[in-house]
Chain A
Amino acid sequence: MTVKTKRVFIPGCSLPSYNPEVVKKTLEYLQKKLPGTGAILKCCGKPTKALGQVDKFKERYGEFQAEVDKIGAEEIIVACQSCFLTMSEYSPNQKVISLWELLPEIGLPEEAVGIGKNSDIVFAIHDSCSTRNRPTIHEGIRWIMKEMGYKIEEPPSTKETTRCCGFGGMVVPANPDLALRVMKRRTSEVESDYIVAYCAACRESMVKGGKKSLHILDLIFGGPWNSKSQFPGVPGTPVTSWVNRYKSKRNINKVLK
């Protein structure tokens, strides 16, 4: 019997390398609310695009698109802002929607509602610069934070004027000192010691910039978080990230077995 898969969840690369547990829980939640959701763990090729490798990117994206087409999904749910932009541009036959736009529609998991209302932490919101022109994503993030009950801070540069976390454009490997300065510049305009991001690379940059930082999925599927909580740092070696990514793959396979 052929399986009809209406939509596919794409966690991206950085999130699965950061936290395999939230990848699993997100997918499980989507299963519950939106049955017929598949998942693809595969790079969209954005890094090659960012480097200017036009041909390489075409080849990579082609491979990714083939997977989407094979599954037959009409809709792509992304948890990564770079994926959002890339897929919106290069997958004209699929409807691309951000998880942060989707959650306000389907609601948060029951256990997440009000989870942060007694927290002593104020989370400054760091918007990803790649989707600065997508207000529905900004609104979604703020709705999620409000729904959970966490207090928030809007930095001076926020939403459409948000500042780069320092990770963009593949600058970190090219000019690490500069990237670190950009990270610190971004965190220095924030009053709170805590920043919530919705991109795992942004989150890591916030930590490198000297703040305690979480991915918004850490808040939805974990916590309650308060000043006594142990906050995740930055990966010690690339191996940690690859192990996480491998675990994410296994988690996806488990959920959709």
Chain B
Amino acid sequence: MKKVTYPKEVLDKMQSIVDDCMGDAPAYCEAECPMHTDVKGYVNLIAEGKHKEAISVIREKLFLPATLGRICAHPCEDKCKREEVFRQPMAVAALKRFAADNYDDKKDWDLTIEAEKSQKVAVIGAGPAGAQAALDLRRKGYDVTVYEKLPVFGGMMRVGIPEYRLPRDIIDHEYSLLEDIGVKFKMGVEVGKDISFEELKRDYDAIIIAIGAHKGVVIPIPGHDMDGVLNAVEFLRVVSLTRKYDIGKKIAVIGGGNVAIDVARSARRVGVEEVHLICLESKPDMPAHDWEVEEAEEEGIILHDGFGPERIIGTDGKVGGFEIKKCTSIFDGDGNFNPQYDENIKKTLEVDNVVFAIGQAVDSSFVSEDEIETVRGGKFKVDEITLQTKTEEVFVAGDASGRSVIAVGAMAEGRKASLSVDRFLMGEDMYEDREGEGSFETWLKTELDEDEADLPRVKTTQIDPNLRVQSFEEVDLGFTEEEAVKEASRCLKCECKLCMKECEMLVDFCECPKELFESILKTGEVDPLIPYSCNMCSQCTIVCPEEFQIKDRFMDIRKLMVKANEGKSPIKGHGAIEVHQALGFSKLFNTAKPAKKDDTSEDDVKDKGRA
């Protein structure tokens, strides 16, 4: 057979399949995960009892499975089809934790790196963004050193997220991969104090700033400068490092996010007896996750939702109370933050401390504005696609640029920065093919079967609230194997591939039609057996949401192959058809007979039986 050349109209029709086939579309969870963990993949391995394989799938994308299994804000769960339809999303994080806690073995960790490179990269900050960047660059063979001002790994995961949610030995264990793979750490070294940024610039070929946002913010309301006014960042850091805090018996925490909850619950564990939580939002609208609010209330936290701060009162410069007022709306007509209050509804809480948990700022003082511009809250200004600053060898990842607020998002930013650094140092295009980085919306569209059952989410077991406030012991006990398998089995395995379930033949030759036609378009070639294995039955088209006429595409190819093969099918087995056709057209087996002569006269009379 001569080489087949495909005319434009044939190629265009294949292209439309490549453009719109959803066969390779990631599931909602995977697309939403900033690190694009194969959630569906590992969840279903757990459902099949293949826990060991599950953890290896997780580790392909995440070096912190046990950590994230506990503290990931799991945006994937918000996008879960079971969330959309039944408000019962898959417990993705808890399943990850199950696999990590029970089946992750350090012996299986991938310690391979590419050939050593001569260039040196400094990463400032050992939080999730910095650690991911360091790991990725080290895997590419760079000489990577991480500078961390704290004496411990983990950044905000370590000094922001409380120990009762994330035991510290887990962070250290998972971070040991970085040491094993050859990332160097300078712990307790603060850039700008112990070593200058200029020195780093001199000694390294590229720098990634991943310092997080560790500066507390306090609203300048009357009394904010009194003794006893605290900020969440500082409070949580001290509690994280010492399990203690010199604080009163009654406190108020202001803020409605997860950090405010962390402060309130941590306060109970350092001896505070009465914790008031004040937030502008009404309870259902609080930025904190519902279950966190619920767990806080179980621990005796008193919620004052829909209230804002009026003033802090006290005597001799020491906090003695907190006056709050009813919040009537938070945003104005333009969507700007502009809280309005009912001045007639006020209450005064008798407290010894007021803790502000209303956001964090970046301490960018170690570098001059001439070198790297900053925006509101000290955040560094970066190129949206490359995370590069105006100083070309300096990149920023994580909270320091304000682009991420959750750990897994910070990791994705770290990965993004590391890719940019690699391309920068290799002299490659910094902007090419970067669409798939971070969360994106999948092009998958699936509908649930009408008879799909609303199976409730399996919940993990938690320590009794009265017991748990007495220590920093982990509150959540995770899944048993039975619970994990049951929960994992709820996964709807969201994918299109309806044709692949219907067609025996497609399954033999491709993952989905898109893959097949993409390869034909790319190579200009296809094994003749593929188009000649289509039964031409249209079953694929019937189930295809896009109603692709795949059989017609195969027929186009058949015709072109016949043309290129002197009018014959290129399939050897079709020689028999040639013989068959020759016989089928021979006189021996054919006849054509008109109607019987004597019938014609009666024809119309006898035909009346027909409609």
Contact = CB atoms under 8 A, between A and B. Distances in A.
A5 to B, nearest CB: 4
A164 B539 contact: yes
B592 A185 contact: no
A213 interface: no
Contacts of A39: 591-593
A47 interface: yes
Interface in B112-152: none
Given A35-B603, A175-B529, A168 B592 contact: no
B499 to A, nearest CB: 13
Contact of B595 (A36, A56, A170, A175): A36
A67 B562 contact: no
B188 interface: no
B565 to A, nearest CB: 10
A249 interface: yes
Interface stretch (B219-227, B314-322, B570-578): B570-578
Given A35-B602, A42-B585, A170-B574, A5 B594 contact: yes
A31 B535 contact: no
A34 interface: yes
B426 interface: no
Nearest to A30: B595
A182 B568 CA distance: 25
Contacts of A56: 567
Contacts of A105: 609-611
Nearest to B569: A51
A3 B596 CA distance: 8
Nearest to B551: A169
B580 to A, nearest CB: 7
Contact of A252 (B539, B571, B588, B591): B591
A208 to B, nearest CB: 14
B536 A169 contact: yes
B609 A33 contact: yes
A36 B597 CA distance: 8
Contacts of B562: 51-54
A29 interface: no
A111 B157 CA distance: 86
B595 A3 contact: yes
Nearest to B556: A52
A245 B533 CA distance: 28
Contacts of A34: 606-607, 610
A129 B542 CA distance: 12
Contact of B597 (A1, A41, A71, A132): A1
A6 interface: yes
The contact size tier of chain A is 35 or more
A54 B611 contact: no
Contacts of B606: 33-35
Contacts of A99: none
B595 A6 contact: yes
A47 B581 contact: yes
A242 B576 CA distance: 14
Contacts of A55: 567
A132 B551 CA distance: 15
Contacts of A47: 577, 580-581, 584
Interface in B18-76: none
Contact of A249 (B532, B590, B609): B590
B463 to A, nearest CB: 50
A59 B521 CA distance: 32
B584 A13 contact: yes
Interface in A157-207: 160-161, 163-164, 166-171, 173-176, 178-179, 181-182, 185
Contacts of A169: 532-537, 551
Given A34-B607, A52-B555, A178-B505, A253 B593 contact: yes
Contact of A35 (B560, B583, B596): B596
A71 B592 contact: yes
A50 B595 contact: no
A175 B533 contact: yes
Interface in B160-194: none
B242 interface: no
Contact of A60 (B534, B567, B571, B585): B585
B596 A4 contact: no
B504 A185 contact: yes
A37 B595 contact: yes
Contacts of A173: 571, 573-574, 576-577
Contacts of B336: none
Most chain B CB neighbours (cut-off 10 Å) among A1, A34, A35, A48:
A35
B561 interface: yes
A41 B599 contact: no
A256 to B, nearest CB: 4
Contacts of A13: 584
B599 A31 contact: yes
B337 interface: no
Interface string A1-40: 1011111000001000000000000000001011111111
A52 B561 contact: yes
A69 B602 CA distance: 22
Contact of B539 (A163, A179, A181): A163
B489 interface: no
A222 interface: no
Given A48-B581, A63-B585, A256 B596 contact: yes
B600 A3 contact: yes
Contact of B594 (A38, A106, A242): A38
Given A169-B536, A171-B534, A53 B569 contact: yes
A246 B534 CA distance: 31
Interface in A221-247: 238, 242, 245-246
B588 A246 contact: yes
B536 A35 contact: no
A253 to B, nearest CB: 6
B87 interface: no
Contact of A4 (B504, B574, B580, B595): B595
Interface in A77-107: 102, 105-107
Nearest to A52: B558
A155 B504 CA distance: 18
10 contacts: A3-B594, A41-B590, A42-B591, A43-B590, A72-B594, A169-B532, A169-B536, A171-B532, A179-B535, A242-B589
Interface of A: 1, 3-7, 13, 31, 33-43, 45, 47-48, 50-56, 60, 63, 67, 70-72, 102, 105-107, 129-130, 132, 160-161, 163-164, 166-171, 173-176, 178-179, 181-182, 185, 238, 242, 245-246, 249, 252-253, 256
Interface of B: 504-505, 508, 529, 532-539, 542, 551, 555, 557-563, 567-569, 571, 573-574, 576-577, 580-581, 583-585, 588-597, 599-600, 602-603, 606-607, 609-611
Q: Which 7 A-B pairs have the closest CB atoms?
A: A52-B558, A164-B537, A173-B573, A35-B599, A169-B536, A256-B593, A168-B535
Given A51-B532, A51-B558, A72-B594, 6 more contacts: A35-B602, A41-B589, A52-B569, A175-B505, A245-B589, A249-B588
